Amino acid sequence: MKMSWFRAFPPLYPLQMNDAANKIKKSRVNVRRPDVMERVAAEVAIHFHSTVVEKLRDKGGKMTVGNTTLLLAEQFGFCYGVERAIDLAYASRKVFPDNRIFLIGEIIHNPEVNRQLREMGIISLPWMELTAGYDELTEDDVVIVPAFGAPTRFMDKVEERGCYVVDTTCGDVMKVWRRVRGYAKDGVTSIIHGKSNHEETLATSSRALGENGDGHFLVVLTTTDVDYLCKYIRNGGNKAEFLAYFIDHYSDGFDPEVHLQRVGLANQTTMLQSETEEIQRRIRKAITDRDGDDTAFQVFDTICGATQERQDALFEMLKKPMDLLLVVGGYNSSNTAHLVEIAEPELPTFFIRDASCIQSLQEIVHYDLHHREEKTSDYSKLFSADRPVTVGITAGASCPNNLIEETILKIFELRGIDREALANL
Ligand code: SF4
């Protein structure tokens, strides 16, 4: 019984012999079999689809009932990379019904999606450190690589253990890897604009070391980081202080006097476009001030299309009058946080996990990006039942439609409009 999955669904790629290690290793497994994907599509739809969201989209993203108007951004929620990653995770369970299945970290940054995978018996492994648990993986185990990818040392370990690998890394993330590997090949240091403790940036940093492991990288996040970097590029400075400022954000052996001579910029795919452009501009200017031209500077904009579309759609939406905006998504989701940053200066904006955060017409639980904590705010002035209100909703690329639907229904419910009334619209 243990190997029944293998007879039923042999991997599409043949098993391979690694002569050097003298042990059998398996190729990455393609679980995208038509029969499997048909069942996956049905299950994913049950878990994450929403007829209310579809209806609202069909109505041009606007719905008014009584004195309550709801606006939905033109682009929101699941992106193609996330949809693919979820499909492949679900398919893994179907192709390997009897095997242990592990996931490096989280498939995406959404608690509801990760909960569904846990219910299927898919076990999350640590993603910051290669813990002893990785040494206990066996050749019968399946390991799913999340949409963000995973650092090379994790991939090497999983391969060394001979596990079946289902790689859901998004193609847009892999484009960044190609770029930073190219920088390393040409002796160019990668400056990575991203969060140094984000899965994707960790994975990208490991590729910036290049095929031979002798490449270098530096991770910058804020414009303050960039200004510090630019000052050093222009004038040099105290190397020890520089390394202390960026501690844990650069490759082993990084020497600012050597490794800032030729630099190439890349960014985490989910950063804020305007910030990334500003960072490009500042570094290019610093190099030009130092060298007289910018030939020692390369840049490749690696913000993905889905992130860009969601940011652009929000800018469009903000042109319309709204009383408040709800941004739905996981609190650790980078692209969702950037939507909040875009909207916050314009109107009251609340970053919520799901509908349960909207506790009443008076109170909303939401994530405060500045203090990095969840808190409860009183928003009764904005939302009293007797005054007309327009609520905007958008959601990050990792947020399923069913969570958006519950948020919409909760708002209408608090305003005295029940589900049946909405069903007849
Ligand atoms: S947000 Fe962009 S990079 Fe990330 S999974 Fe979606 S499409 Fe891919």
Q: How far is the CA of 2 from the centre of ligand 1 (A)?
A: 36
CB atoms within 10 A of CB 112: 17
Nearest to 136 by CA among 162, 118, 117, 155: 162
For 60-68, the CB contacts below 8 A with 24+ separation are 63/408, 63/425, 65/412, 65/417, 65/421, 65/422, 65/425, 66/415, 66/416, 66/417, 67/387, 67/388, 67/389, 67/415, 68/388, 68/389, 68/391, 68/411, 68/412, 68/415, 68/417
Q: How far is the CA of 306 from the centre of ligand 1 (A)?
A: 6
- pLDDT of the residue at 26: 59
Nearest atom within ligand 1 for CA of residue 79: 6
β-pairing verdict for 122-125 and 164-167: unpaired
pLDDT digits (tens, 9 = 90+) for 27-49: 688 899 999 999 999 999 999 99
pLDDT digits (tens, 9 = 90+) for 183-210: 999 999 999 999 999 999 999 999 999 9
Q: How far is the CA of 397 from the centre of ligand 1 (A)?
A: 7
For 366-372, the CB contacts below 8 A with 24+ separation are 367/331, 369/337, 369/340, 369/341, 369/344
Q: What is the residue with the minimal CA distance to atom 6 of ligand 1?
A: 81
What percentage of residues in the chain have a pLDDT greater than 90? 85
Domain spanning 172-303: which CATH class is it, in words?
alpha beta
What percentage of residues in the chain have a pLDDT greater than 70? 93
Distance CA 380, CA 361 (A): 6
Q: How far is the CA of 82 from the centre of ligand 1 (A)?
A: 6
pLDDT digits (tens, 9 = 90+) for 87-142: 999 999 999 999 999 999 999 999 999 999 999 999 999 999 999 999 999 999 99
Q: Does residue 370 register a pLDDT over 80? A: yes
Reading the block at residue 26, the tokens are 């398996």
CB atoms within 10 A of CB 356: 12
- Specify the domain boundaries for CATH 3.40.50.11270 within the chain: 4-29+81-170
Strand, coil or helix: 132:
helix
Contacts of 248 (CB under 8 A, 6+ apart): 196
Contacts of 34 (CB under 8 A, 6+ apart): none
Q: What is the residue with the minimal CA distance to atom 2 of ligand 1?
A: 304
- pLDDT of the residue at 14: 35
Q: Does residue 7 register a pLDDT over 80? A: no
- pLDDT of the residue at 271: 93
Cβ pair 31, 92 in contact under 8 A: yes
Q: How far is the CA of 402 from the centre of ligand 1 (A)?
A: 20
Distance CA 92, CA 86 (A): 10
Nearest atom within ligand 1 for CA of residue 335: 1
Known catalytic membership, residue 200: yes
Confidence of residue 384 (pLDDT cuts 50, 70, 90): confident
Q: What is the DSSP letter of 104?
A: E
CB atoms within 10 A of CB 41: 13
pTM for the whole thing? 0.89
- Specify the domain boundaries for CATH 3.40.1010.20 within the chain: 48-78+306-423, 172-303
Q: What is the residue with the minimal CA distance to atom 4 of ligand 1?
A: 81
Q: How many residues does the chain have?
A: 425
Nearest atom within ligand 1 for CA of residue 85: 5
Active-site annotation holder among 106, 200, 275, 405: 200
Q: What is the residue with the minimal CA distance to atom 7 of ligand 1?
A: 81
- pLDDT of the residue at 27: 63
Ligand 1 pocket, mutate which of 110, 170, 179 (most atoms under 8 A from CB) = 170
- pLDDT of the residue at 19: 38
Domain spanning 4-29+81-170: which CATH class is it, in words?
alpha beta
Q: What is the residue with the minimal CA distance to atom 5 of ligand 1?
A: 81
Q: How far is the CA of 343 from the centre of ligand 1 (A)?
A: 21
Q: What is the residue with the minimal CA distance to atom 8 of ligand 1?
A: 81
Distance CA 139, CA 25 (A): 8
Of the two residues 386 and 252, the one the predictor is more confident about is 252
Strand, coil or helix: 190:
strand
Nearest atom within ligand 1 for CA of residue 147: 5
Q: Does residue 153 register a pLDDT over 70? A: yes
Nearest atom within ligand 1 for CA of residue 269: 3
Q: Give Cα separations from 73 to 39, 76, 316, 320, 325 (angstroms).
A: 30, 6, 8, 11, 10
Which residues does ligand 1 sit against, CB inside 6 Å? 79-82, 147, 170, 172-173, 269-270, 304, 306-307, 335, 397
- The CATH T-level fold of domain 48-78+306-423 is Cobalt-precorrin-4 Transmethylase; domain 1 (3.40.1010)
